[in-house]
Structure 1
Amino acid sequence: MPHPVPALIVVDVQRAFDEWEAAGKRRNNPDAVARIADLLRAFRTHGAPIFHIRHEGTKPNSSFLPSRSGYAVKDEAREQPGETVIVKRVNSAFIGTDLEQRLRAGNIGTLVICGATTNHCVETTTRMAGNLGFAAWLVRDATWTFDRIGPDGDEHSAEEIHAMTLSNLNGEFAHIVTSADVVASFAAK
């Protein structure tokens, strides 16, 4: 019997991204962290399971090395006592971790996924969740990404990348929702 409520998966809401912005990288969804805080509040209020995913860099210049300031979690998304923290070293929260085993042991079938970045760790985790048979809800206003240069030198805005990632995942890998949709789903129970 699946868990009666979904689990919240909070991916890589770490200070490295603030450092990237301070260094001049441009992102979309400036209110994403506030929406993540809304989701955390709703899940905590309803006693629903929360899994915090933290990225640990492995390359010498990574912003996510545990010895660097970027590894720390942003205050708005900090875990509370009793909430699970899982450290990953690749894009997917399922690779090299016990996330899947924990979810299955808890009979959790639905995952609400938020965090950073939309087209990297959030997308990879969402794709794997769908492939593993979980019902994934990707929260569009609680994730963000950055502008990027493509292989041919083309500039792609964070908004375009975010929208394309959501389009790629929609239907096949995930149900795309807003944070308000998720909060309202608790009120409907």
Structure 2
Amino acid sequence: MNSLKLPDNAVLIPIDLQQAFDAAPWPPRWNDRVDENGLALLAAWRSAKRPIIHVRHDSVEEGSTLRPERPGNAFRPGFGPKGEEPLVTKSVNAAFIGTDLDLRLRRLGADTVVLFGISTDMCVSTSVRVGANMGYRVILVEDACDCFDLADGAGGVISARDIHRAHIATLRAEFASVVTTGELLAALGGAAAA
């Protein structure tokens, strides 16, 4: 997508890049480059001095590995806020529900958000849909997302890769512009040079 234009106030929003997702009870994931791609996005965004708002899931469910007092709640290595980058915590799937994310974006004058994280079909997808419905231009970085194998309810399992593909297709059809990490970094570089 060579025509991708990034306004100066586009906000990068990493979603739920937390340690819990690497261990039981979470099922297998598919994208072994999710951390590499996500860290590349953060580094480039910081280098360009563009706004970042981090999102972390603080579960209120008993026994959840994402509860604030559990080790799995912590960010994956290299993720999480640096300096004065803000953190929004949520306890539901959408980063906009029950948080001040919308207010923060409006105070920045942002109309474009760039999302990535875990998991494609749950918190990322829900945040994309809600953000689009609230009037934001949403850009989704597909290869900086990951999700899990999922039971199909009939004794089988749908592979994480297939779940990811289906959700990306749906989001692309109606809710977001979908790009790769390379495409976004190229657009960011072009915007910096302009």
- Per the shorter chain, which TM-score range? over 0.9
**Distance in structure 2 (CA, Å) of the matches to 1:140 and 1:182:** 10
1:167 aligns with: 169
Q: 1:43 aligns with which of 42, 45, 48?
A: 45
1:69 aligns with 2:71: yes
Note the residue ranges of structure 2 that are not aligned, 5 or more in a row: 1-5
Pairwise CA RMSD of aligned residues? 1.4
Alignment of 1:1-189 (within 5 A): 4-20=8-24, 25-189=27-191
Q: Could you tell me how far apart the structure 1 residues matched to 2:10 and 2:30 are? A: 26
Tell me the TM-score normalised to structure 1 length.
0.94
Q: Distance in 2 between matches of 1:91 and 1:100?
A: 15
1:5-51 Cα shifts (integer Å, max 9, x gaps): 4110000000000123xx67211111011100000001100111001
Question: What is the CA distance between 1:60 and its match in structure 2?
Answer: 0.9
**Following the alignment from structure 1 to structure 2, what is the Cα–Cα distance between the partners of residues 3 and 169?**
21
Helix, strand or coil: the match of 1:137? strand
Deviations 1:98-120 (A, max 9, x none): 00011011111111101100000
Distance 1:184 1:29 in 2: 21
2:112 counterpart letter in structure 1: T
CA distance in 2, matches of 1:28, 1:7: 26
In 1, the alpha carbon distance for the partners of 2:23 and 2:67 equals 13
Please tell me the residue identity of whatever aligns with 1:68. Answer: R
Q: Which runs of 4+ in 1 moved over 4 A?
A: none
What is the aligned length? 186
Distance 1:7 1:186 in 2: 12
CA distance in structure 1 between the partners assigned to 2:164 and 2:30 by the alignment:
8
Structure 1 residues without counterparts, runs of 5 or longer: none
The answer on whether the counterparts of 1:3 and 1:106 sit within 8 Å (CA) in structure 2 is no
Residues 9 and 109 in structure 2, CA contact (< 8 A), matched pair in contact too: no
